[in-house]
Amino acid sequence: MRVVTWNLWWRFGPWRERQKAILAVLRELRPDVVGLQEVWAADGENLAEWLAGALGMHCAWAPSPAPERWRRRIDDPTADIGTAVLSRWPVTERDVLRLPAPDDLDDGRLALYARLARPGGPVPFFTTHFTSALHASAVRCQQAAALAEFVAAHRHGTGFPPVVTGDFNARPDSDEIRLFSGTRTAPAVPGQVFFDAWEYADPAAPSATWDTTNPYVHAGLGPSVRVDYVLVGAPAGPEGEGTVLDVRRAGHGPANGVWPSDHAAVVADLEG
């Protein structure tokens, strides 16, 4: 099962040209399921639905309940921003969690759950987008704890471990990632732990998903770093479902002459 997570940089920059580049990358990857963050909807169009239609996939979409701060950044009072899942298989259940944040940082970030009707057994799949402020590790820890409880409430009834994707806006050694993963500190939900798929990568492979070589990335926000994750519940299923077979970056260069996003995607191949 090929899993992709990707932050699509909403309607910033040359978004019409980027839209085509995003599709080109996903077509080449041929994923089974994709977790998307910063997905736009406006003027009767929805980027996730457009991608799903072009790729022959199913779509679940969750708009932000508080898009006003995003809208001010592009001076458009009508555009929506949200989180989405594209799936090769039908989505049989869905739920949305609004992530906790103080008023001064709350811009309506979400976690989206979609149960995927995989023929060998359903997959509990999640994608999320944590608060981005550099100083907000404590807020992201609260969001990690809420996300862990959200996953625990929806992981039942299948041997396939939960798969959690997203832009956590956090370094791999951060408190929030360690808290959610639960392998280097006590897990947010007792007994619930996750493996970071990137730990299976070639140690020499470039890992940054927020990369200062990308022309959309503001170097003043810090050095290149990996902030996007595919996290797989442990242990694997009874037949090895969810075991990480391969992981790498994608979308980390121009496609059709334009960089698709300010983030690179993460691609993980899982058993099953």
pTM of the model: 0.97
Strands (E), the chain: 2-7, 33-42, 45-46, 58-63, 80-87, 91-98, 110-116, 123-129, 163-167, 193-196, 228-234, 244-250, 265-270
Q: Where are the domains of the chain?
A: 2-270
Cβ-based neighbours of 75, under 8 Å, separated by 6 or more: none
CATH topology of domain 2-270: Deoxyribonuclease I; Chain A (3.60.10)
Measuring CA to CA, which residue among 113, 112, 141 is closest to residue 38? Answer: 112
User: What pLDDT is attached to residue 58?
Assistant: 98
Residue 113, both tokens: 């759950």
pLDDT digits (tens), the chain, 272 positions? 999 999 999 999 999 999 999 999 999 999 999 999 999 999 999 999 999 999 999 999 999 999 999 999 999 999 999 999 999 999 999 999 999 999 999 999 999 999 999 999 999 999 999 999 999 999 999 999 999 999 999 999 999 999 999 999 999 999 999 999 999 999 999 999 999 999 999 999 999 999 999 999 987 889 999 999 999 999 999 999 999 999 999 999 999 899 999 999 999 999 98
Cα separation, 77 vs 74, whole angstroms: 9
Cα separation, 12 vs 73, whole angstroms: 9
User: What pLDDT is attached to residue 227?
Assistant: 98
